[in-house]
A = this chain, B = another copy of it.
Amino acid sequence: MGRERLYLFDTTLRDGAQTQGVDFSVEDKRTIANALDGLGIDYVEGGWPGANPVDSEFFADVPKLKQARLTAFGMTRRPGRSASNDPGLVAVIETGAVAACLVGKTWDFHVKVALGISLDENVELIADSVRAVRESGREALFDAEHFFDGYQANPDFAIRCLTAAHEAGARWIVLCDTNGGVLPDAVERIVREVTAHVPGDRLGIHCHNDTENAVANSLAAVRAGVRMVQGTLNGIGERCGNANLVSLIPSLVLKAPYRDIVETGITAEALKRLTPTSHLLDEVLNRLPNRHAPYVGSSAFAHKGGLHVSAVQKDPTTYEHVPPEAIGNKRHILVSAQAGKSNILAQLAEIGVDLDPKDKRVGRLLDEVKRREHVGYSYDGALASFGLLARRALDQVPRYFDVSSFRVIVERRHNAKGQLITVSEAIVKIVVDGETIMSAGEGNGPVNALDTALRKDLGKYSHYLADLRLVDFKVRILTAGTEAVTRVLIESTDDTGERWFTVGVSPNIVDASFDALIDSITHKLYRDGAPASVTVTPIELPRTAKR
Contacts and interface: CB of A to CB of B under 8 A. Distances in A.
Interface stretch (A125-133, A176-184, A528-536): A176-184
B541 A297 contact: no
A495 interface: no
Interface string A201-223: 00000000111110111011001
A297 B216 contact: no
Contacts of A442: 545, 547
A168 interface: no
A196 interface: no
Contacts of A514: 412
A474 interface: yes
Contacts of A119: none
A319 B208 CA distance: 12
Interface residues of A, number: 122
A216 B184 contact: yes
Interface in A476-494: 476-479, 483-484, 486
Given A109-B318, A114-B307, A405 B409 contact: no
A338 B55 CA distance: 12
Contacts of A257: 185
Interface stretch (A91-99, A268-276, A288-296, A345-353): A288-296
A474 B293 CA distance: 23
B294 A210 contact: yes
A185 B256 CA distance: 10
A301 interface: yes
A300 B210 CA distance: 7
A239 B474 contact: no
A435 interface: no
A506 interface: yes
Given A442-B547, A475-B475, A184 B220 contact: yes
A114 B314 CA distance: 9
Interface stretch (A15-23, A37-45, A155-163): A15-23
Interface stretch (A4-12, A355-363, A393-401, A415-423): A415-423
A495 to B, nearest CB: 21
A477 to B, nearest CB: 5
A381 B216 contact: no
Interface string A405-433: 11111111110000111111000000000
B318 A114 contact: yes
A251 B211 contact: yes
A238 interface: yes
A420 B220 contact: no
Given A239-B299, A241-B292, A320-B179, A510 B446 contact: yes
A304 interface: yes
Interface string A321-352: 11000000000001001100000000000000
A442 B541 CA distance: 22
A239 B301 contact: yes
Contact of A444 (B184, B220, B320, B507): B507
B479 A477 contact: no
A443 interface: yes
Interface of A: 18-21, 23, 25, 27, 51-52, 109-110, 113-114, 178-185, 209-213, 215-217, 219-220, 223, 235, 238-241, 244, 247-248, 250-251, 255, 257, 286, 291-295, 297, 299-302, 304, 307, 311, 314-315, 318-322, 334, 337-338, 378, 380-381, 403-414, 419-424, 442-448, 472-479, 483-484, 486, 506-511, 514, 540-547
The 10 closest A-B pairs by CB, nearest first: A181-B321, A216-B216, A212-B247, A475-B475, A445-B508, A420-B542, A444-B507, A405-B413, A410-B510, A407-B411
Contacts of A219: 183-185, 213
A425 to B, nearest CB: 10
B410 A239 contact: no
Contacts of A181: 255, 321-322
A424 B547 CA distance: 10
Nearest to A244: B212
Contacts of A419: 540, 543
A381 B211 contact: no
Given A184-B220, A314-B113, A479 B408 contact: no
Contacts of A508: 410, 422, 424, 444-446
Given A299-B239, A479-B25, A547 B443 contact: yes
B412 A409 contact: no
